[in-house]
Structure 1
């Protein structure tokens, strides 16, 4: 009995599935071989044999991974960093000098040309990365730049160079470099900790801070303050200003101020970001959801708050930021506080100047500022005048007077205050941390006065967060002077004064002929008191007369 096996034909769905799987397999295999070929080609070009080749700018030699083209040479194994679109940065040398060599693919040649052009224009400033040379071969373009020791990210997170420079010193140099770029109408568009570099020098300043990576920089046209976003969204996520993400946003220098404000906070609070964790950072920027609670200093807080404003027109310029009191030297702070003390010394409660200074002063004085000063310093504070413990003016007066009479203080007080301006200001600001913030921000309206123009920006006002509370003494009426007796003193005529003295001297009764006796008493009183002297004779007489007849007495 014959048995036959019958097979069922494949369904149409099965045939389609087989075809799709076959096509997918072929695509994957093709991509794998393509990628493998590209990797092999790159290795051959960078680390190939020791045989030389010829590039656009001269002969190329590759020996044991060291590539030499023109005056630039670098080791392909010594990688300093990686960028987008296949960009690598190697440690190398240029004309015997250690440099960083940036290697770019042909797709980035246009960007490289723009970067080199802007570097040549701006690298004369000490806080901008220095450019040395450019070389090119058939596959890559090489840019030789100044070699640095660390990034700002290394400074904050790894502690590199922290013994040589303070965080404030780093940020002051960084904003100085950005101010220089903006003065040349150059917008960086990628300010972040990784693009701020630190270089250690044997000579002062020991650590030099520089703005680097000009790949996304763009220059504003003459007369323009902004440009469109035709090139798309540029920058690093988490550090991009909100207007860069909006469809109708215009790019101005303010985009760099926003990013630098985030960098300021990141540096001052040791790695934290005002807009939170990386995964939600950019969305928080768009919704303006920030936190500055980790920053205790009010001066820094108000500065960063204005730098990260949602509206770019509300942000300060780089020049305004650089002149802010957070970057002042201690000697400059002392000069400002003394100048302000002189300015308000003679102000009365009827004027607005003293009112602006004293409003909200309770936060500075903490009840009575005198209790926070050492007894040796406060020893003779009220010797010549009284000081109110709840008055900012009196606190500034004490600071000024102690500095003026420093040599007259007892040795213990001098030791506590310190011999230098830095130690002196530190003594006062340590005990009254809000004094500089309160005084500077409260008196911004004095910016137009010549003596205070140097301390304030003429076009930008920072917020002043304080209460409008005034101390009780501010409402007291001034007491009249005891010598005045509440009434104006009447002046006695000279003649009547002399008459009084003469009549008291001779103890005579009042004369009958007042006109004659007044004259005689006046002359006699002058003679007795020695207030009269002989004058020249008006006429020379031929006849001899007595000496007393020829004398005319007048007041000396």
Structure 2
């Protein structure tokens, strides 16, 4: 059991009890003042760029039931530690049928994810890494958007400087995937930051409902590198896996439009899902 102690909160974690591991961080089971939490340890030199104190404080101040709460942060000369709410699993676990616990209805799940992302945007941030692994399932079955490793604040011009996409690229929008071929000056001109997240969430909606399929892959086919090519060239197979009468068809289709300005806004998505959520609660 390791601990970092100061005059403030007391954080401990167990290096033997690993909850998750990524390319740039490891998540351990731990405690904060004796309360069970998740402790995400990130090597400082692996941070994409240094988070300014006021940006970190803004992230810590986020308070929404569908956004994973950052309870505390610490760092030493080697690592930054993010103390997070403890959850049961990820949407990736659910989609792969590794998690069979409590879950909301499908319309409610989509509504929760859209609400969490909308809140993040309202606080002036773009997530940039929306995917099944970064949506957690709480101990009470509530979905929470997590992992702010790539989360960046909007600039006053409503844009931000975006680096080459890393991680799971099959949830990246076409303009984000094509950043690699652009100059620094061209990247700076891209100001459709919210639209990037909306595209990713639209793909995630489909993957969630269809338990692993992707709107830019033929139903039942492997979801692999060919998907990114299909995204860039607009080869969408949504109509092969979902009827046009399905309540989510127009929503997902609208969120995954090739042109960023044509994508549905989250307010519209939430508005359309709300009646179904109310109906589900009434029938529960």
Same topology, TM > 0.5: yes
**Partner residue of 1:226?**
159
Indicate the RMSD between aligned Cα atoms, in angstroms: 2.5
SS state at 2:193 partner: coil
Does residue 212 of structure 1 match 2:146?
Answer: yes
Task: Give yes or no for contact 1:175–1:322 (8 Å, CA) kept in 2.
Answer: yes
Q: Which runs of 5+ in 2 are unaligned?
A: 218-222
Distance 1:107 1:174, change over 3 A: same
**Partner residue of 1:141?**
80
Does residue 96 of structure 1 match 2:48?
Answer: no
**Partner residue of 1:305?**
253
Residues 237-279 of structure 1: per-residue CA shift (max 9 Å, x gap):
1111111122246141000000000000001111111122213
Does residue 187 of structure 1 match 2:126?
Answer: yes
Q: Following the alignment from structure 1 to structure 2, what is the Cα–Cα distance between the partners of residues 315 and 215?
A: 25
**Partner residue of 1:105?**
43
**Partner residue of 1:275?**
216
Q: Which runs of 5+ in 1 are unaligned?
A: 1-65, 202-206, 334-419, 424-556
- Superposed, 1:256-335 pairs within 5 Å as 256-276=197-217, 277-292=223-238, 293-296=240-243, 297-324=245-272, 326-329=273-276
Distance 1:142 1:227, change over 3 A: closer
Does residue 240 of structure 1 match 2:178?
Answer: no
Q: Following the alignment from structure 1 to structure 2, what is the Cα–Cα distance between the partners of residues 185 and 174?
A: 17
Distance 1:331 1:148, change over 3 A: closer
SS state at 2:236 partner: coil
Q: TM-score, normalised by structure 1?
A: 0.44
SS state at 1:104 partner: strand
Shift of 1:68: 1.2
* More strand per residue: 2
Q: Of 59, 73, 77, which residue of structure 1 is paired with 2:16?
A: 77
Task: Give yes or no for contact 1:157–1:271 (8 Å, CA) kept in 2.
Answer: yes
Answer 1 or 2: higher relative contact order, Cα 8 Å, separation at least 6.
2
Q: Following the alignment from structure 2 to structure 1, what is the Cα–Cα distance between the partners of residues 47 and 166?
A: 17
- Bigger Rg over Cα: 1
* More helix per residue: 1
Shift of 1:81: 1.3
SS state at 2:268 partner: helix
Distance 1:152 1:119, change over 3 A: same
Residues 459-491 of structure 1: per-residue CA shift (max 9 Å, x gap):
xxxxxxxxxxxxxxxxxxxxxxxxxxxxxxxxx
Q: Following the alignment from structure 1 to structure 2, what is the Cα–Cα distance between the partners of residues 198 and 328?
A: 23
- Superposed, 1:464-475 pairs within 5 Å as none
Distance 1:235 1:220, change over 3 A: farther
Q: TM-score, normalised by structure 2?
A: 0.84
Q: Following the alignment from structure 2 to structure 1, what is the Cα–Cα distance between the partners of residues 19 and 136?
A: 13
- Superposed, 1:463-542 pairs within 5 Å as none
SS state at 2:51 partner: helix
Shift of 1:232: 3.0
Q: Following the alignment from structure 1 to structure 2, what is the Cα–Cα distance between the partners of residues 156 and 311?
A: 28
Q: Of 61, 66, 76, which residue of structure 2 is paired with 1:121?
A: 61
